[in-house]
Structure 1
Amino acid sequence: MARTTPLPAAGALPATRRRPLSTRAYPAFRTVALVVTVVALLLPLIWMVLASLKTNVDIYDPSKSFVFAPTFENYVNVLTRNNYFVFVVNSFWVAFVSTLLSLVLGVPAAYSMSRFTMHRSALVVLMARVIPGVSLLVPWYYVFSNLRMVGGFEVLILSHMFVALPLIVYIMMGYFDSMPLELEESAQVDGLTPIGAFRRITLPLSVAGMATAGILAFIFSWNNFMFALVLSGSKTKTLPVAIFDFVSYASIDWGGLMAAATVVTLPIMVVALFAQRYIVSGLTAGATKG
């Protein structure tokens, strides 16, 4: 005779299934991982800002890590006595011009590679992204020194474009790949030329991608130290190179160094904070294509 399972009584509630331990522990693990990551990223910045408000004696005193008498002498020294405003203008000019020229050249190039499936050209762009810039410093210096261009803004802008241009092309190719081709075809049916469809339809729709690529290229140029150290002159020195002046053979002015580093970091943090929506949307534009 077959054995039957007794049915639950009327009105009885089924027993609640307990979630697995791994499922219950995941929120706690995620919270801990997030806190550890945020602390690891913010701790150097917090130490930099606090050290910029201390004297060198207080920086070396562990008892004054958080409780100390703040001083703005380091910022006065950086902004007034060392002529750092000129270095700020130099950094902004090099970053702005190199980013603008890279956008002017890179956006049409990325559109052509995307629409006409230029796989070999895309491979060349990817190789340019992979090649370390330090391997090109010696050839660049040799060529530009023979052309008597070392120490000018032109050589800094060209060297920064070598990294900014492939970055912009790489980002914009993914962005154009995610845009439907039917929009341009409909515009051409209405009487626009392919160039007109690009200018009036595709280009306005790719503003978020261009903002992403431009911001990342600007940040790279603003923070670049290696190219400017070798190729800049006394009148074209940028902020990252000017910070190096606080490091001498005998000692390091930690207070002035941290104040100068704060001056360099603060504008980029503000730009990234207000433009994070464009950066995230532009970087993930082509992620769901297909």
Structure 2
Amino acid sequence: MRGGTAYKAFRVGALVLVVLGLLTPLIWMVAASLKTNVDIYDASKALLFSPTVDNYKTVLEQANYVTFIINSLWVAFASTVLSLLLGVPAAYSMSRFTMKRSALVVLMARVIPGVSLLVPWFYVFSNLRLVGGFTVLVLSHMFVSLPLVVYIMMGYFDGLPTELEESGQVDGLTPIGAFRRITLPLSTPGIATAGILAFIFSWNNFMFALVLSGAKTKTLPVAIFDFVGYAAIDWGGLMAAATVVTVPIMVIALLAQKYVVSGLTAGATKG
């Protein structure tokens, strides 16, 4: 009994430490977004301070962040939808027809650092006069989101029994019809998982957008740098902008966590 009690206490203590370690930066970010720059530098006002919404007014009214929010939403939505349209059928084909070489290519695409491709991308897309537009941002984000979708969906399709499709074909369905009417509805959790993770990646992406976006296509992560000046940093505005970037994704992740968990574990628990 003593050993069990000690283990439970250790487990609870470890869990509390992990949660505090994860939440402390977020709490500090939100608190700093409600302070003036003077209060942020004042250690005595770390916990007790007079909150202000001026930083959010600066972000949403003066800094034109509504446009940047729309840009981020559009790029994330377009890259996610296109990745799902291409990645789900590709993952199904690789899973059902055991395309090991194709699967290896997809895995390599996930392993290659994106920064190593920025210079070739910039050279090619600049010659095509695409740099600064939404097209190049969507395509660059798909470089990571598409392999992610394929990787997740391959594991999910591997866990689905082929007998369901075979029985559908016995009843008169074509292979494509069996995929569309049987496999796809059963794959909804996996598709939701892949779509959510791809959207989150695109929303948070900074590196690709920094190099390939323009003044009119700037996304939120890049726009945050507007608060970093040569001589000073507007910490209040910076934290408010970071909160605007972070909170929507956290809400989406919390609301969709059951789909993410079920989708990621389905391939390991089915079949």
Q: Given the two structures, how large is their TM-score scaled by the length of structure 1?
A: 0.92
- Tell me how far apart the structure 2 counterparts of residues 238 and 225 of structure 1 sit (CA, whole Å): 8
Q: Which of 150, 154, 159 is matched with 1:178 structurally? A: 159
> Are 1:34 and 2:9 counterparts?
no
In 1, Cα distance between the equivalents of 2:225 and 2:249?
19
The corresponding residue for 2:238 is 257
Gaps of at least 5 residues in structure 2 are none
Q: Which residue of 2 aligns with 1:58?
A: 39
Q: Which digits, 9 at most, give the CA deviation of each residue in 1:53-82, with x for residues without a partner?
A: 000000000110111000000000000001
Residue 183 of structure 2 corresponds to 202
- Alpha-carbon distance in 2 for matches of 1:68, 1:115: 60
Q: How does 1:1-290 map to 2 (within 5 A)?
A: 19=1, 22-289=3-270
Name the CA distance, whole Å, in 1 between partners of 2:171 and 2:16: 55
TM-superposed CA distance for 1:24, in Å, is 3.4
Query: How far apart, in 1, do the equivalents of 2:198 and 2:24 lie?
Result: 26
Give the secondary-structure state (helix, strand or coil) at the position aligned to 1:284.
Answer: helix
**Separation in 2, partners of 1:245, 1:266:** 19
Deviation per CA, 1:63-116: give whole Å up to 9, x if none: 101110000000000000011000000000000000000000000000000000
Distance 1:27 1:61 in 2: 39
How far apart are the structure 2 equivalents of 1:55 and 1:153? 35
Q: Secondary structure at the match of 2:268?
A: coil
State the alpha-carbon separation in 2 of the partners of residues 134 and 196 from structure 1.
41
Aligned-pair identity in percent equals: 79
Q: CA deviation at 1:287?
A: 1.6
RMSD, aligned CA: 0.9
Partner AA of 2:136 in structure 1: V
Listed as ranges, the gaps of 5+ residues in structure 1 are 1-18
The alignment of Structure 1 onto Structure 2 pairs a total of residues equal to: 271
Cα distance in structure 2, aligned partners of 1:278 and 1:89:
26
Q: Which has the larger radius of gyration?
A: 1
Please give the TM-score of this superposition, normalised by the length of structure 2: 0.99
Structure with greater proportional helix content: 2
